[in-house]
Structure 1
């Protein structure tokens, strides 16, 4: 097994393009947000439930590498992977490709703190630590068997 991952399909909207006819440079961060929301939902923990527990995950760092073009009406495959680089942060790695050809569009990541309703940092909840730890440990075990 690998770290928790999920794929979605998104279509480039006209409002997401610039005068050159390709996606505007800030759009990948919006697509990253959509991907991480759907990943958490697929894992059984939509953001609405996490926030109902009094926990929030603000972005602390974001990085995007622009690799190729995406134009109006292109269908994109957006793959997100959840990891925990430290006890106080979660990280979502995202890769966006053209759905039809697999050509890379962009890739990057966001790193998030876990905070309470007062905005103070807290440890990630046990369910999140367990989810990432179990998946990552199994992935390492599988890799060493080969």
Structure 2
């Protein structure tokens, strides 16, 4: 399963050349990830209310082509790994006008409690675990 959403590049996301600053791609990954979770009935705020937190422990982005001011960007997010106390999402970003791949990457998250201690997610929140497991792509 994948989640798709679109954004339009804003002026404040770019440099003087009109090219998107590299750090903004990670903010777009966040938009995709939170959208994905919400689309399967697990909005971030509900996870946090349950005591489940997902801090990023690893992130990567490969920049293929620059996104520019005014571009419409399609964000595709997929849940690709769910194992133990780790969960991983993969992302692809495309320019809508010509379907050019702009960037691809991933974020890996630990599953922790409010004290940032890893938890046995599968045992403690089996229903949520099973819902996520149903949506893990390959």
Instruction: State TM-score, norm by structure 2.
Output: 0.90
Displacement after TM superposition at 1:21 (Å): 1.5
1:101 matched to 2:98: yes
Segments of structure 2 that go 5 or more residues without pairing to the other structure are: none
- Please say if residues 83 and 132 of structure 1, whose CA atoms lie closer than 8 Å, have aligned partners that are also in contact: no
- Please say if residues 82 and 133 of structure 2, whose CA atoms lie closer than 8 Å, have aligned partners that are also in contact: no
Segments of structure 1 that go 5 or more residues without pairing to the other structure are: 141-146
- 1:133 maps to 133
1:22 matched to 2:19: yes
The 2-side partners of 1:18 and 1:115 are apart by: 36
- Please say if residues 63 and 108 of structure 1, whose CA atoms lie closer than 8 Å, have aligned partners that are also in contact: yes
1:90 matched to 2:84: no
Q: Structure 1 residues 38, 54: CA separation in 2 closer, same or farther (over 3 Å shift)?
A: same
The 2-side partners of 1:23 and 1:5 are apart by: 24
The 2-side partners of 1:123 and 1:8 are apart by: 31
- 2:32 maps to 35
The 2-side partners of 1:60 and 1:78 are apart by: 21
Q: Structure 1 residues 80, 49: CA separation in 2 closer, same or farther (over 3 Å shift)?
A: same
Q: How many residue pairs end up in the alignment?
A: 135
- Please say if residues 20 and 67 of structure 2, whose CA atoms lie closer than 8 Å, have aligned partners that are also in contact: yes
Cα offsets for 1:78-131 (capped at 9, x unmatched): 000012252211101000001121101101000000000111001333234313
Instruction: State TM-score, norm by structure 1.
Output: 0.86
- Comparing 79-88 with 102-111, which one deviates more in the overlay? 79-88
- Please say if residues 84 and 132 of structure 1, whose CA atoms lie closer than 8 Å, have aligned partners that are also in contact: no
Cα offsets for 1:26-82 (capped at 9, x unmatched): 010000011101111101010010000011000000000000021111000000001
